Amino acid sequence: MSLNPDPGTADRLLAAQAAADVKGRSLWKDARQRFMRNRAATAGLVALVLICIFAFFGGFLAQYEPDYVDFSLIGSNASQGVPSIETGHYFGTDSSGRDLYARTVQGTRISLLVGIVGAGVAVIVGTLYGAIAGYKGGRTDGAMMRTVDILMSVPYMFVLILMLVIFGRSILMLFIGIGLISWLDMSRIARGQTLTIKGKEFVEAAHATGVRPMTIILRHIVPNLLGLVIVYATLLVPQMIITESFISFLGLGIQEPNTSLGALISNGASNMQYGVIWQLAFPLFFFVITLFAFFFVGDGLRDALDPKDR
Amino acid sequence: MLNYVLRRVAIAIPTILLLVVISFVLMYAAPGGPFNSERPLPAQVMANIEARYGLDQPYWKQMTTYIWNVVVHFDFGPSFQYRDRTVNDVIAQGFPVTLTYGFWSFIVALVVGVALGAAAAIRHNSWLDYLAVGISIGAQVLPNFVMAPILVLVFTLWLGWLPGGGWQGGQIEYIILPVIALSTSYMASIARITRSSMLEVLNAGFIRTARAKGLPTSRIIWKHAMKPTMLPVLSYLGPAFVGMITGSVIIDVFFSTGGIGQFFVNSAFNRDYSVIMGITILVGVLTVTFNLVVDLLYAWIDPKIRY
């Protein structure tokens, strides 16, 4: 713009722009409206917010520390450790006399963290991997995607347990193990979408003006993958929670004094014949609600952001 | 077709080899040997034991010997914890059990899932459809380790109808609960996939043509709609198989059925590396083979796939 346009034109341009701003409906705004119209998804979102509040702030309400053992209750759980407001054990106590409310808060928090970290790794590694494979194409693409094929056909749960046995059972190892497998699906989805974006004019334009391939991928391709990536990341979180709970149910995952919903369900299941059904019921309730919430939000996001897949 | 089969097999073999190498490297990377304990053994005893298990050999030789034995003799070597049995014994003892209830779970998930999904699609927007959708949404938050305690609670502790564990040579009442616990979430997924796939097929032009010709509905469904409906279901069977074989670990531990999952978890606690490795490799080979069969079936059914 070498010429200075006369003030009248500039005003009109601004006015037109303002009008466009009012009327304009961005993709994200549309998506938000579609999402909000979906009652199941909105309910899921509310449930999710409540669960997060419970997991991260519920500890302030607890009357006991999660690792405080009330020795007087061991053995008389069925009669003394019943859920009640008066004793401060809102959810009762577990078989070692610990406050189940505090334990459930802790378990929900760790399960959520595992799910979110797993999905986070999937978003970062999977998206970049898929975008690079799809954008480069040819041999690179072939080699990268065959690697994913091969990794996907490995029974990962067994390898994960093998890793936990060899490198020791710790939260860090669990995060690493889950992160290692979570990105595979995402890379396929990202690659497929990249293949369709790659042919668009704006990528061609960027290429023609000499933008480096890596910059094209980061600036032009990845932002356009975002909708799809968010949808699958949301649906990935419950899967990661299930994976972690699976391992913890076997006693190979989260170790005491830490706990997760899977470990709590396992404890509850092994004690349920002693009349302490709350030890199973409360963790199970939070597990099921969390999964439901994520599935509903994920489905809602898919309907909102990915209109062709209905 | 032959070319395609060969190419798929050519991918399957390195996959299995990679699995063997990865588990071997992981095992080798483990800190401490399998015979290290709190009370250190005399050096000579240690040397003898290591020689007995071939652990005194150089690394690459151990690996090639192991791979050679596995591939040629189907021999996974001795257990490191139990001197009286080999990994092959463990597999021979546990695998038939896992196979029995795994097979039935697979059949139940497939048959019930497809029937439910197809019925829902055919009676679209009826109470049957809503029921099927409700079941499949509900069941996706009920993985096997949630189903198993719930089933035992209801059918064993409250109703007292079925035993809550054990195997007893595979009598029918001992199989029912493991099969339901293992198959529910996969049944739900199969129902969901079948339903959406069938809805799409039923709206296709060739079905309208068949209707216009005046064919009876049952014939349209079985003769024309079923085959294309099954394609997405078929591609889900691979992941379902992996999921079930993984889930069998939970079933074995929770129901004490005595399948390979129980040995797997026990070995994981005892650091019995050779058993863990043997089972991992066995499961890997099964998975790869199953995926191969599914892919070939897919190529055979779907006329659009060119090899």
- pLDDT tens string A227-239: 888 888 888 898 8
**pLDDT of res. A1:** 40
- State the smallest CA–CA distance between residue B284 and chain A in angstroms: 6
Residues A224-253, mean pLDDT to the nearest whole number: 86
Smallest CA-to-CA distance from B136 within B167, B156, B114 is with B114
pLDDT band at B112 (very low <50, low <70, confident <90, very high): very high
**pLDDT of res. B306:** 59
Residues A163-169, mean pLDDT to the nearest whole number: 78
Tell whether the model's pLDDT for residue A71 goes beyond 80: no
Of A249, A252, A273, the CB nearest to B268: A252
C-alpha to C-alpha distances, A132 to A1, A135, A231, B80, nearest whole angstrom: 36, 5, 20, 44
Smallest CA-to-CA distance from B283 within A37, A162, A192 is with A162
The boundaries of the domain holding residue A48 are 29-70+90-305
**pLDDT of res. B111:** 94
Question: How much is the mean pLDDT over chain A?
Answer: 81
Tell whether the model's pLDDT for residue A310 goes beyond 60: no
Tell whether the model's pLDDT for residue B15 goes beyond 90: no
Q: Which of B8, B17, B141 to mutate to test the interface with A (most CBs of A within 10 A)?
A: B141
Pairwise CA distance, residues B54 & A22, whole Å: 77
- More confident of the two residues B101 and B24: B101
Residues B119-128, mean pLDDT to the nearest whole number: 88
Pairwise CA distance, residues A301 & B19, whole Å: 37
Check CB contact under 8 Å for A161 and B264: yes
Check CB contact under 8 Å for B26 and A273: no
The reply to whether A6 falls in a domain is: no
Tell whether the model's pLDDT for residue B110 goes beyond 90: yes
The reply to whether A77 falls in a domain is: no
Residue of chain B whose Cα is closest to the Cα of A163: B26
Q: Does B285 touch chain A (CB under 8 A)?
A: no
**pLDDT of res. B115:** 92
Q: Which of A149, A158, A274 to mutate to test the interface with B (most CBs of B within 10 A)?
A: A158
Pairwise CA distance, residues A88 & A263, whole Å: 23
Give the pLDDT confidence of B187-217 residue by residue, as tens digits. Answer: 998 998 999 899 888 888 888 898 898 888 8
**pLDDT of res. B95:** 87
HEC string of A93-136 equals: ECCCCCEHHHHHHHHHHHHHHHHHHHHHHHHHHHHHHHHHHHHH
Specify the CATH number for the domain of residue A52.
1.10.3720.10
Tell whether the model's pLDDT for residue B219 goes beyond 80: yes
**pLDDT of res. A230:** 85
The reply to whether A5 falls in a domain is: no
Give the pLDDT confidence of A110-164 residue by residue, as tens digits. Answer: 899 888 888 888 889 999 999 999 888 888 888 888 888 777 777 778 878 878 8
**pLDDT of res. B287:** 84
For residue B78, the SS3 value is strand
pLDDT band at A193 (very low <50, low <70, confident <90, very high): confident
Residues A269-279, mean pLDDT to the nearest whole number: 79
CA B202, chain centre distance (Å) = 32
Domain count, chain A: 1
Size of interface A-B (CB pairs under 8 A): 115
**pLDDT of res. B108:** 93
- More confident of the two residues A24 and A163: A163
Of B153, B269, B284, the CB nearest to A155: B284
Amino acid at B278: G
Residues A91-120, mean pLDDT to the nearest whole number: 84
What residues contact B148, with CB distance under 8 A and at least 6 apart?
A: A269, B177, B178, B181, B250, B251, B254, B255
The most distant pair of C-alpha atoms in chain B lies apart, rounded to whole Å, by 86
Residue of chain A whose Cα is closest to the Cα of B137: A292
Tell whether the model's pLDDT for residue B2 goes beyond 80: no
Residues B221-246, mean pLDDT to the nearest whole number: 86
CB contacts, 8 Å: B30 with chain A = 165-167
Number of separate helices (H) and strands (E) present in chain B: 12, 0
Check CB contact under 8 Å for A150 and B15: yes
Of A36-45, A52-61, A218-227, B31-40, minimum mean pLDDT range: B31-40
pLDDT band at A3 (very low <50, low <70, confident <90, very high): very low
Q: Which of B140, B195, B246 to mutate to test the interface with A (most CBs of A within 10 A)?
A: B246
At residue B197's C-alpha, the angle toward residues B195 and B201, to 5°, is 115
Of A193-202, A212-221, A259-268, B167-176, minimum mean pLDDT range: B167-176
**pLDDT of res. A16:** 60
**pLDDT of res. A309:** 46
**pLDDT of res. A12:** 65
Query: What percent of chain A is predicted at pLDDT more than 90?
Result: 6
Of B148, B268, B287, the CB nearest to A155: B287
CB contacts, 8 Å: A169 with chain B = none
CATH superfamily ID and name for B96-268: MetI-like (1.10.3720.10)
- State the smallest CA–CA distance between residue B214 and chain A in angstroms: 30
**pLDDT of res. A306:** 65
Check CB contact under 8 Å for B246 and A269: no
Of A41-45, A218-222, B63-67, minimum mean pLDDT range: B63-67
The reply to whether A82 falls in a domain is: no
pLDDT band at A2 (very low <50, low <70, confident <90, very high): very low
